[in-house]
Copies of this chain bind each other. A is one copy, B any other.
Amino acid sequence: MTSKRGRLTIPSESGYLEETKRLIELWGADGIRDSDGTKLDDEIKQLAEKVYTTYFVARNHNDFINQHRDEIQQMFLLSERVMATSDTCQIDIMTGFLSEQIEPNHDDPPNTYWEVVDRTTGELLDSASWTYDETKQQVNVTGVTPYHEYTVSFLAYVIWDPTQMYNHITNDWGDVPHDIPFDVRKKHSKQYMADFLKDWLTQNDQTDIVRFTTFFYHFTLFFNDARKEKFVDWFGYGMTVSVQALSDFEKVYGYRLRAEDFVDEGYYNSTFRVPSKRYLDYMTFIQKFVSQEARTLVDLVHDSGKEAMMFLGDNWIGTEPYGEYFSTIGLDAVVGSVGNGTTLRMISEIPSVRYTEGRFLPYFFPDVFREGNDPTVEAQENWLTARRAIMRKPVDRIGYGGYLSLANQFPDFVEYIRKVADEFREIYATIAHIEPYTSVTVGIVNAWGKLRSWQTHMVAHALWYQQTYSYLGVLEALSGQKVKVVFLSFDDVREGRLAEVDVLINAGDAGTSFSGGTHWLDAELIAKINQWVIEGGGLIGIGEPSAVSCNGRYFQLASLLGVDKELGFSLSTDKYFVQPADRHFLTENMTRYDFGEGQKNIYAIDGDTTILHYENGTVNLAVKEIGAGRSVYISGLPYCAENADLLLRSIHFAAHKEAMLKQWYSDDVNVEVHYYPKAGKSAVINNSSEERTATVFDGAGVPCRLTLAGGEIVWRESYDI
């Protein structure tokens, strides 16, 4: 019998003792937390075994930082492009930026650190060719080429913490002071950070878990002069910079970074850019620093007998849970927001912490918890989506956030959360620490590899982008499937790690880090993959895999994939292969096709390619046998149940494991089966909210008909054959 208590953190708020007590009882919560805008009374803190308290390291101390304003965090920013119409050029560097957030750094000499670049040629101008007027915040350049465009890359103080700024502006907080973030690389800040935490720990003896939100550097986020978001990159290291950081970096790496290494033509090293060696060096440099400094804080927490938990977001930059240095921080736990299966796995797979926690949706905020709306709908969708991933690798705890008093006004919701909590505890009790059965090992290859495990194709955390959803579907499908997933960099492939996988997936738009861009100019890489496939490996390309125009091909793996993209250069070559095959293993369950944004002008290079879907002059789905190997091409794979099945079948086909598909499998795409050998159990889950009747196959492929209520999970005694 599974315990009806534990593994659940809920929020509470001041003056809400009795109802909190009731809900703790009803839901079986053992943890209680504060939230943005809420504080816990001492009495409430005594209700739960674990009290979480949010802790900000590098902001919320304006009294301190105002005395050391040269320690405010900084970043390199790129001005607007200004077209010269004579041989001089004036650039107002702050145009388009929010002066409440950004303040040009006038403390370090501009001509030493800033750059004026001719963006028409890409050339850096001699620093003697321009002057800076502090009063006007204007750069005056002489000797320019008329009708070229010029930019200034300038160092600026970030005088408003981005998350507080976002909340402040969104919620119209009025005269609440702007939190000024400080840089703990600097002497006073470093000292202050430690001293304050020491004090705080002694003053917060009721806190069991210090919830760091988060450490030192926020992901890149700045606003425009209309107080709206101008740039957001959840992975951006932009706000970690300072003259001291540049100098420290040079001491370690022996070379000096430029402003351009940060502004990067205006792309600011978006995670979609193939990272340069210099940027990778810098990321490593920051990770080492962040890990080392975070360690000192974690040690203080531990010394006080408390646990250290990190929130995966906000000021998480440099922690890199999948990076080389994360384990040295010594954290007890990581908590993160669960938007779907992918983000669940992003949290639950984090190595070297004792436990992970997922904060589920909806957040108890008035936007959802309003009269006339049923918050249970979002809760159920969130739970069923994430549950697929939990079945593969559970987080150790779940939780919610926001105003408990709001949630409590919706009895159906309260009851649903009771069921979710019980179901989670049951799943956890059954499968935690038990390796689920997997039929195939899949490698995702991109320029980032392991560092961006379950983090591909993301701009801002969990936000929808038209250019990404057709790729994000791949991870989302995989997050709840009976396959082992490893994330490989191109260097991993070069170093022979293809041996670890049955199937390799390359998915993304041409030129991006996820497709691979210029990595595909490396003949050695191509040859490695050629050999591996011909000797029996399985390759799946999605979107513009291996795309870079070179040597007569756009897809550098076109010979393997059997398709290429017509750019206009080979229109003279007749394309005869357009007829889709009638039936195929991959498409047995497809009733309609959705390739998302898909592609245009994809053609089969010869008759050896088997086309499975062709529409409007383009191949959307094709397979090929080459040597002992197989490949699959898919033009796009947004997440839906049928596409998940299509991907699972593609994987089994590419791996020559068609026979294993119908083991621990259901013929209804909404129903999935997970098997846990060491537990002697399997779970059949209905991912939809409607009743489904499915034919479910056990490990011997023996079918049985099963009817599941909407969202139901059915446990069965199961054993290897």
Interface residues of A (CB under 8 A from B): 81, 83, 85, 118-122, 145-149, 220, 224, 228-233, 236, 265-268, 270, 272-273, 459-460, 465-468, 508-512, 523, 526-528, 530-531, 534, 549-553, 559, 566-574, 576, 597, 600-601, 617, 627
| Contact (Cβ within 8 A) B121 A523 | yes
Q: CA of A508 to CA of B224 in the docked complex: distance in angstroms?
A: 34
Q: CA of A508 to CA of B231 in the docked complex: distance in angstroms?
A: 31
The secondary-structure label for the interface of chain A is loop
Q: What distance in Å separates the Cβ of A266 from its nearest Cβ neighbour in chain B?
A: 4
| Contact (Cβ within 8 A) A147 B531 | yes
Q: CA of A528 to CA of B145 in the docked complex: distance in angstroms?
A: 11
A523-B120, A534-B147 are known contacts. Are A568 and B228 too (CB-CB below 8 A)?
A: no
For A552, the chain B residues whose CB sits under 8 A away are 81, 119, 265-267
For A118, the chain B residues whose CB sits under 8 A away are 523
For A550, the chain B residues whose CB sits under 8 A away are 122
Q: Contact check: which of B81, B232, B465, B572 meets A220 at CB < 8 Å?
A: B572
| Contact (Cβ within 8 A) B567 A511 | yes
Q: Contact check: which of B569, B576, B597 meets A273 at CB < 8 Å?
A: B569
Q: CA of A52 to CA of B705 in the docked complex: distance in angstroms?
A: 81
Q: Contact check: which of B460, B467, B549, B566 meets A566 at CB < 8 Å?
A: B467
Closest 4 CB pairs of A and B: A265-B552, A147-B530, A147-B527, A233-B572
| Contact (Cβ within 8 A) B572 A236 | yes
Q: CA of A574 to CA of B229 in the docked complex: distance in angstroms?
A: 7
| Contact (Cβ within 8 A) A559 B527 | no
A567-B509, A572-B233 are known contacts. Are A148 and B267 too (CB-CB below 8 A)?
A: no
Interface centre among A460, A467, A601 (most CB of B within 10 A): A467
A523-B120, A552-B265 are known contacts. Are A83 and B511 too (CB-CB below 8 A)?
A: no
Q: CA of A232 to CA of B233 in the docked complex: distance in angstroms?
A: 47
| Contact (Cβ within 8 A) A571 B83 | no
| Contact (Cβ within 8 A) A230 B574 | yes
A531-B146, A559-B149 are known contacts. Are A270 and B569 too (CB-CB below 8 A)?
A: yes
| Contact (Cβ within 8 A) B571 A467 | yes
- Further pairs besides A122-B551, A147-B534, A509-B568: 11, Cβ < 8 Å: A81-B559, A83-B530, A119-B552, A120-B523, A120-B526, A147-B530, A148-B527, A233-B572, A265-B552, A266-B573, A597-B600
Q: CA of A149 to CA of B146 in the docked complex: distance in angstroms?
A: 47
A122-B551, A527-B147 are known contacts. Are A569 and B230 too (CB-CB below 8 A)?
A: no
For A528, the chain B residues whose CB sits under 8 A away are 147
Q: Can you pick out 27 interface pairs between chain A and chain B where the beta carbons lie within 8 Å of each other?
A: A81-B552, A83-B534, A85-B531, A118-B523, A119-B552, A120-B526, A121-B523, A145-B523, A146-B531, A147-B528, A147-B530, A148-B526, A148-B527, A220-B572, A230-B574, A231-B573, A232-B574, A265-B552, A267-B569, A270-B570, A270-B572, A272-B571, A273-B569, A459-B571, A467-B568, A508-B568, A511-B568
Q: What distance in Å separates the Cβ of A499 from its nearest Cβ neighbour in chain B?
A: 15
For A576, the chain B residues whose CB sits under 8 A away are 228
Q: CA of A267 to CA of B572 in the docked complex: distance in angstroms?
A: 8
For A81, the chain B residues whose CB sits under 8 A away are 552, 559
Interface centre among A145, A510, A569, A600 (most CB of B within 10 A): A569
Q: What distance in Å separates the Cβ of A31 from its nearest Cβ neighbour in chain B?
A: 34
Q: Contact check: which of B146, B268, B526, B570 meets A572 at CB < 8 Å?
A: B268
A530-B147, A551-B122 are known contacts. Are A459 and B572 too (CB-CB below 8 A)?
A: yes
Q: CA of A120 to CA of B268 in the docked complex: distance in angstroms?
A: 32
For A572, the chain B residues whose CB sits under 8 A away are 220, 231-233, 236, 267-268, 270, 459-460
For A268, the chain B residues whose CB sits under 8 A away are 572
Task: Please give me the residue from chain B that is nearest to A121 by CB atom.
Answer: B523
Task: Please give me the residue from chain B that is nearest to A85 by CB atom.
Answer: B534
Q: What distance in Å separates the Cβ of A550 from its nearest Cβ neighbour in chain B?
A: 7
For A145, the chain B residues whose CB sits under 8 A away are 523, 527
| Contact (Cβ within 8 A) B149 A569 | no
Q: What distance in Å separates the Cβ of A282 from its nearest Cβ neighbour in chain B?
A: 18
Interface centre among A228, A265, A460, A627 (most CB of B within 10 A): A265
Q: CA of A110 to CA of B266 in the docked complex: distance in angstroms?
A: 52
Q: CA of A147 to CA of B459 in the docked complex: distance in angstroms?
A: 36
For A148, the chain B residues whose CB sits under 8 A away are 523, 526-527, 530
For A146, the chain B residues whose CB sits under 8 A away are 527, 531
Interface centre among A121, A224, A236, A572 (most CB of B within 10 A): A572
A85-B627, A568-B509 are known contacts. Are A231 and B574 too (CB-CB below 8 A)?
A: yes
| Contact (Cβ within 8 A) B465 A571 | yes
Q: What distance in Å separates the Cβ of A273 from its nearest Cβ neighbour in chain B?
A: 6
| Contact (Cβ within 8 A) A527 B120 | yes
Q: CA of A571 to CA of B549 in the docked complex: distance in angstroms?
A: 23
Task: Please give me the residue from chain B that is nearest to A574 by CB atom.
Answer: B229
A551-B122, A567-B511, A574-B232 are known contacts. Are A466 and B617 too (CB-CB below 8 A)?
A: yes
